[in-house]
Amino acid sequence: MSNQDLHFELCGEQQEVAVIRLTRGAKRNALNDGLILALRDLFQNMPASVRAAVIDGEGEHFCAGLDLSELKDRDAGQGLHHSRMWHAALECVQYGPVPVIAVLHGAVVGGGLELASACHIRVADESTFYALPEGSRGIFVGGGGSVRIPRLIGTARMTDMMLTGRVFNAADGERIGLAQYLVPPGQAFDKAFELAVRIAQNAPLTNYALTHVLPRIAEQPADQGFMTEAMMAAIAQSAPEAKERVRAFLEGRADKVKRA
């Protein structure tokens, strides 16, 4: 589904990085139904060349969350289906074909934080701030935030954000686990793109294991997690690409791990 508020571009030498940009800056990239459905369709129909994706937001803010102008006339049944539509779309981001990196700056609030938390890596610049204003709007999260955000920062911190309207700045956001990377203002896209190019060089099966299998293992009891891990390890190491990569290291043709 094409949408004027969503820009899509293939980048990188092999067109291996999809750059996706919310282009509704005049409304602070607030997510209306059309944008949510367009995101879903985009991740369901990702070109085969793509190995990693970057999601950015036009203007000063990553995303102001749910488009509140669409909320006012909904009844309970419509609200249920609306939330499930967000769930389906953000499932396509989290459990889609490739790892996804969010480029955070300015407001990452409400549904914007829900979108960011469905991504695999979050790179924030120092202008970023995080909030869940649902509490003060008299509503609740509906885009998977109650499932994903506590897994990043813990239930107590999310409860605090929603009960008190607490806003975390960029440094605190990185400290508590909302973002994995913190960079100077204006540098988040470049950092995210650099990471995407790096991720795109991994064996696709390893990336699949990390995005689809690791989060499931994390939800399993340890005993089952160990078994799932063993099966994934066996599948990954039997791939011809894994054998070639290991051989390359043993023959001195691959990079060593360097000190941080």
- Which residue ranges make up the site for ligand 1HE (CB under 6 A)? 27-28, 30, 61, 64-69, 86, 107, 109-111, 133-134, 137, 139, 141-143
Least distance CB 114 / ligand 1HE (angstroms): 6
Least distance CB 77 / ligand 1HE (angstroms): 16
* Dihedral sign (CA 42, 71, 59, 2): positive
Least distance CB 64 / ligand 1HE (angstroms): 3
Gap between the Cα atoms of 100 and 191, Å rounded: 13
- The HSE-up count of residue 234 (CA atoms within 13 Å, CB side) is 6
Please give the structure tokens belonging to residue 172: 């605190």
The question of whether 134 is a catalytic residue gets the answer yes
Gap between the Cα atoms of 229 and 214, Å rounded: 8
Q: Which of 9, 91, 134, 194 is catalytic?
A: 134
The question of whether 126 is a catalytic residue gets the answer no
Q: Which of 58, 70, 114, 241 is catalytic?
A: 114
Residues contacting residue 221 through CB under 8 Å, at least 6 positions apart: none
Least distance CB 26 / ligand 1HE (angstroms): 6
Nearer to ligand 1HE by C-beta: 33 or 41?
33
Contact 109, 64 (CB under 8 A): yes
Please give the structure tokens belonging to residue 144: 């998977």
Nearer to ligand 1HE by C-beta: 97 or 133?
133
Nearer to ligand 1HE by C-beta: 134 or 174?
134
Least distance CB 58 / ligand 1HE (angstroms): 12
Nearer to ligand 1HE by C-beta: 146 or 202?
146
φ, ψ (nearest 5 deg) of residue 95: -110, 40
Helices (H) and strands (E) in the chain, counts: 12, 9
Nearer to ligand 1HE by C-beta: 99 or 142?
142
β-strands 100-104, 107-109: how paired? Answer: unpaired
Cα 248 to chain centroid, rounded:
32
β-strands 100-104, 52-57: how paired? Answer: parallel
Write out the catalytic residue numbers.
Answer: 114, 134
